[in-house]
Structure 1
Amino acid sequence: MRKTTKVFYISLIISLLFIIWGIVPKEVWPTWNLASITTNIQGFLVTRFGWFYLLVATTFLIFAIFLIVSKYGNIVLGKDGDKPEYNFITWFAMLFSAGMGIGLVFWGAAEPISHLTAPPYATESEAEAARVAMQYSFFHWGFHPWAVYATLALALAYFQFRKDEPGLISSTLKPLYGDKMNGGLGTLINVIAVFATVFGVATSLGLGAQQIGSGIEFLTGNVVNNITLQLIIIGVVTVLYMSSALTGLNKGIKYLSNTNIVLAVLLMLFVLFTGPTNFIMNFFTTTLGSYLANLPEMSFRMAPFNEDNATWLEGWTIFYWAWWIAWAPFVGMFIARVSRGRTVREFVLGVLLVPTIFSALWFSVFGGSSISLQMNNGIDVSGVMDDSGTEAALFTVLENFPLATITITLAVLLISTFFITSADSATFVLGMQTTNGDLNPDVRIKVAWGVVQSGTAAVLLWQGGLEALQTASIIAAFPFAIILILVVISVFKAFQEEGRNYTLKRKKAE
């Protein structure tokens, strides 16, 4: 295949080996099965290095804020005079659909309820527990994850479009290591990125299939959300997203991303205005304030003197930070690809602010509605989650609002389009990563990765091994966090050099 590299073959072999390992039943290999091994490793990392994940994620946020206010904010991610390829709305829709689409729909109603029933620390009342629950939902889906994405995406866009380097993560480290990035070390870095991408996306596709199945069960009342239905869903959606992938970036992903945003906004506005509007907006406003006020404290919060609180942090905040880092190669590379021509300041502000505000409003509407139903209407949303799975929370909320059949249908359609755009974007990004940064990867390579993604999700759903693969991708986040720290240093060094060159040119012109 055209431009296929060693990264493609190494990554493909590793992916297939992990899939085979993942489908071996625990009874056959009780001690050395994938779930047991990855769970033990992850447990060690979050227990021993939770502080590391916390400090790293916060460092990326500080770096992003620095770039906004620094003299480097005027640097163009491209050649001087380049203009953005996509208008702002389309750009936001594309980066948002790739970055958090399925996750927001999956957790929007479920996470605040989860924190309400099991808060991060002891609270004096249910009302305080609700406030803290929403505050931490904002925290987990706010500035920190988008700062992780922005850091890598900025580096990739800068070196690819301004310095004419291949669109590879190894290329962003050339200011530090030079031509070593063209050899074995560069290959290793790119393989780690592909590994995290394949299993991170495959897990999300599995979660998406589970939630689509839950929606169909709510709609029909007689179709059971079982593994058979979920495998059929994966098969149908695979055909759809592969069709989209074959149309290219400017057709399939662009149009579907815009459709996603329209559907998401329509669903959110409907719930907002047919639900407890005053409660939701008051909740949004007060939580936004408490989130901003407590951001520094939450960013560095560990619990060395309280084992229960420490367990909560490991299961939620530290898990999320590792998860976002694992997703950074995929989302970062995709955001970089669609951000050519924007200045550093415009890029960082757009990536940090717009998705964070939208996410906060989304959680306020759906999480606020679920909390209102539980606290004020006697609807046991948390009990439904215990009985039918986390994926049922959204549909339980919609079921208690007008036009439930229509809104649940719209929600299933939204999840499906997010599913398609995430998978479509991932085939494109994996194609780039395994063809030396080719901006238009060979169709056969995209098809190969599409089959691997869907096959991984299907096989592991069948075996109940999604959690093991999710854990595996999070383990890959540990070395990748170190790579990201080096990326920050490398970008800063490159920007300093650019500043010196600009000063010299200005002096010569004078």
Structure 2
Amino acid sequence: MPPKIPSESSKGSALSRLGDPIVLLLTVGFIVAFVGLSLYDIDLVADSISAGFAWTAATLGTYFQLLLLLTFLIAIGVSISPAASARVGNLESPQIGTFKWLSMIMCTLLAGGGVFFAAGEPVYHFVVTPPAFDTEAGTAEAVAGALAQSFMHWGFLAWAVLGSLSAIVLAHAHYVKGQPLQPRTLLYPVLGERVMKGALGSVVDACCVIAVVAGTVGPIGFLATQVSFGLHELFGVSEGYATQLGILVLLAGVYVTSAMTGIHKGIQILSRFNVFLALAIAAVILVAGPTLFLVNAFSQGFGEYLSSFFTMATMTAETAPAWWMQWWTVFFFAWFIGYAPLMAIFVARISRGRTIREMILAVAVMAPVATAIWFTLLGGSGIHYQLTGAIDLSEALNNFQFDVATLTVAQALPGGSLMALAILLLTSIFVATTGDSMSYAIAVVCAGHDAPSPLVRAFWGIAMALMAGILLYMGAGQIGALQQFIVITAIPVSLVLLPSLWAGPRAAYAMAREQGIIAPTATTATRAD
């Protein structure tokens, strides 16, 4: 049985209500230190993080890639095993309906990053041929490789590490053994009770929370700059700090309110609305846009993705330019690793009553295919317009100006400015769904149970918005520096995920035996006796 939620009378001081004091001290201490050091010497902070980012990418990039690849392959193996029929949380039917459940998965895990890069990344790989391919950039032959490379970064490997094996371990530990929904629980199979009580477990949780804060503040801050740029281009609104701050306040108001109302209300409603809006935009693009080109591009791009899957997944700095690996594959993979423990907590929480097979296939197969379709609709349209000369994003993308790319492609789509406004709204809500779910997940980690106080959820949501606002005041460069920092935090977080490679299958089979789906082994039967 899961642990009981503490009563109001037993929660103690105001500080303790925010959760584990060590996690709070380390996490808030990181926020204050990052902001303080940035105010003291902004160049020192940016240069130090950049050096750490480059070292991490060069030294551990291959390790990160193998971790994602093994996670996906083992998860698929579990999904086709007899144990995959076991249900999360020992419920005979799901707590959350299928559409609502899939909506929350898509909106939380794809988030603003996927929407932010969906238009620009495929076009970038079209104008700068990825190292896995030898086609001439900017030609019709380069289309399949450009989409395939984008699918690799946002496909099976990225999604699998966010909520498959680690979610199984957490689900079994929490719903069966009564252990807390905290990252430290992922290390229990290796370290036992030592990690569950005391400072070590708190440090583990804090590392994972810091990684998520770094990864979430980035999209929140970048969204403010992207929307202010879009409003300036579309309506002539000033894109200065005042506009960015107003956007930030509005965004924080939305996702903090959503987080406070919880999974079954705000988070669910916001996710459903976003999915409906995304489907409407997708339908307009598919029907009124370059339909035949998009259908052919998806078919060729996904086919290339599957045929070149292992080549792209295992490419290293020895076979590709170091700068390319650092800023593309390794950056994205490390970003996903940083998010993984808290995303797994969220997936385990919303998947109660689902079978392990449903959970793995939804996260590691269905969601990546849906992401590939979305990237084809936006990025494929951008490639089409670039190929035909309707737009030219070469200079903007070589300078990594993805906000320019998104708006330019959006304005070239059917509907022009109206479509651009819709995509800006969609991006905003995607970031909001990340903000609310991560505020909730951080609160769960700090509280140690899956019903944290609404005020605790609000605290973390507001804290991330405040950090984004302060860093934006210093300049978008500090938001970028914080974004790079998540690659460094991926080092300790990856060690938290590592035991799931063997603990995930073991937890799945343990759940299946406990639910009578498969016969207990001789060892298990002996222990039971």
Residue in 1 that maps onto 2:56: 45
CA contact (8 A) 2:255 2:433 kept: yes
Letter matched to residue 83 of structure 1: S
CA contact (8 A) 2:294 2:380 kept: yes
Q: 1:371 to 1:395 in 2, by over 3 A?
A: same
Query: 1:232 and 1:460 mapped to 2: Cα distance?
Result: 15
Letter matched to residue 198 of structure 1: V
Residue in 2 that maps onto 1:114: 124
Letter matched to residue 261 of structure 2: T
Residue in 2 that maps onto 1:478: 491
Letter matched to residue 85 of structure 2: N
Pairing 1:238–2:249 present? no
Give the alignment's Cα RMSD to 1 decimal: 2.3
| Correspondences of 1:309-324 after superposition (within 5 Å) | 309-324=321-336
Q: C-alpha deviations, 1:401-420, integer Å up to 9, x for none?
A: 33223212212221222222
User: Which stretch has the larger CA shift, 13-22 or 108-117?
Assistant: 13-22
Query: 2:509 and 2:374 mapped to 1: Cα distance?
Result: 39
Deviation at 1:228, TM superposition (A): 2.8
| Correspondences of 1:154-165 after superposition (within 5 Å) | 154-165=168-179
User: Which stretch has the larger CA shift, 346-355 or 325-334?
Assistant: 325-334
Query: 1:337 and 1:498 mapped to 2: Cα distance?
Result: 16
Query: 2:287 and 2:299 mapped to 1: Cα distance?
Result: 16
Gaps of 5+ in 2: 1-13
Pairing 1:449–2:463 present? no
Pairing 1:93–2:103 present? yes
Query: 2:220 and 2:205 mapped to 1: Cα distance?
Result: 22
Deviation at 1:383, TM superposition (A): 3.6
Pairing 1:275–2:261 present? no
Query: 2:416 and 2:165 mapped to 1: Cα distance?
Result: 41
| Correspondences of 1:319-398 after superposition (within 5 Å) | 319-385=331-397, 389-398=401-410
Query: 1:124 and 1:56 mapped to 2: Cα distance?
Result: 29
Partner of 2:498, secondary structure, is helix
Query: 2:329 and 2:60 mapped to 1: Cα distance?
Result: 13
Query: 1:398 and 1:10 mapped to 2: Cα distance?
Result: 41
Q: C-alpha deviations, 1:424-479, integer Å up to 9, x for none?
A: 1111111111111x212112222221121001111112213011111222211111
Letter matched to residue 439 of structure 1: D
Deviation at 1:496, TM superposition (A): 5.3
Q: 1:86 to 1:505 in 2, by over 3 A?
A: same
Gaps of 5+ in 1: none
Within the candidate set 33, 36, 46, 2:47 is matched to 36
Identity of aligned residues (%): 29
Residue in 2 that maps onto 1:180: 194
Letter matched to residue 268 of structure 1: A
User: Which stretch has the larger CA shift, 277-286 or 416-425?
Assistant: 416-425
CA contact (8 A) 1:95 1:331 kept: no
| Correspondences of 1:245-256 after superposition (within 5 Å) | 245-256=259-270
Pairing 1:131–2:177 present? no
Query: 2:504 and 2:115 mapped to 1: Cα distance?
Result: 34
Query: 1:498 and 1:333 mapped to 2: Cα distance?
Result: 18
Q: 1:77 to 1:22 in 2, by over 3 A?
A: farther
Residue in 2 that maps onto 1:296: 310
Residue in 1 that maps onto 2:160: 147
Deviation at 1:120, TM superposition (A): 1.7
Query: 1:396 and 1:21 mapped to 2: Cα distance?
Result: 36
Deviation at 1:386, TM superposition (A): 6.1
Query: 1:223 and 1:96 mapped to 2: Cα distance?
Result: 32
Partner of 2:353, secondary structure, is coil
Within the candidate set 418, 433, 439, 2:445 is matched to 433
Pairing 1:12–2:12 present? no
CA contact (8 A) 1:173 1:490 kept: no
Partner of 1:78, secondary structure, is helix
CA contact (8 A) 2:248 2:469 kept: yes
Partner of 1:164, secondary structure, is coil
Pairing 1:460–2:471 present? yes
CA contact (8 A) 1:176 1:490 kept: no
User: Which stretch has the larger CA shift, 496-505 or 471-480?
Assistant: 496-505
Residue in 1 that maps onto 2:423: 411
Q: 1:401 to 1:505 in 2, by over 3 A?
A: closer
Residue in 2 that maps onto 1:211: 226
Within the candidate set 259, 264, 270, 2:278 is matched to 264
Q: C-alpha deviations, 1:285-331, integer Å up to 9, x for none?
A: 1111111111122211224255xx33212220111110110111332
Q: 1:478 to 1:146 in 2, by over 3 A?
A: same
Partner of 2:219, secondary structure, is helix
Q: 1:19 to 1:63 in 2, by over 3 A?
A: farther
Deviation at 1:495, TM superposition (A): 4.3
Query: 1:166 and 1:69 mapped to 2: Cα distance?
Result: 28
Query: 1:365 and 1:377 mapped to 2: Cα distance?
Result: 18
Letter matched to residue 130 of structure 2: P
Question: How many residue pairs are counted as aligned between the two chains?
Answer: 499
Within the candidate set 199, 213, 236, 2:214 is matched to 199
User: Which stretch has the larger CA shift, 486-495 or 126-135?
Assistant: 486-495
Q: 1:262 to 1:283 in 2, by over 3 A?
A: same
Query: 2:107 and 2:176 mapped to 1: Cα distance?
Result: 26
Deviation at 1:56, TM superposition (A): 1.1
Pairing 1:103–2:113 present? yes
Partner of 2:88, secondary structure, is coil
Query: 2:384 and 2:409 mapped to 1: Cα distance?
Result: 10
Residue in 1 that maps onto 2:73: 62
Partner of 1:163, secondary structure, is coil
Give TM-score scaled by structure 1 length.
0.92
Within the candidate set 435, 441, 462, 1:423 is matched to 435
Q: C-alpha deviations, 1:142-189, integer Å up to 9, x for none?
A: 001111012322322222223221111112322322211222221111
CA contact (8 A) 1:148 1:328 kept: yes
CA contact (8 A) 2:228 2:244 kept: yes
CA contact (8 A) 1:8 1:435 kept: no
Query: 2:412 and 2:520 mapped to 1: Cα distance?
Result: 66
Query: 1:111 and 1:423 mapped to 2: Cα distance?
Result: 23
Give TM-score scaled by structure 2 length.
0.89
User: Which stretch has the larger CA shift, 163-172 or 133-142?
Assistant: 163-172
CA contact (8 A) 1:112 1:371 kept: yes
Q: 1:497 to 1:373 in 2, by over 3 A?
A: closer
Deviation at 1:245, TM superposition (A): 2.3
Partner of 1:165, secondary structure, is coil
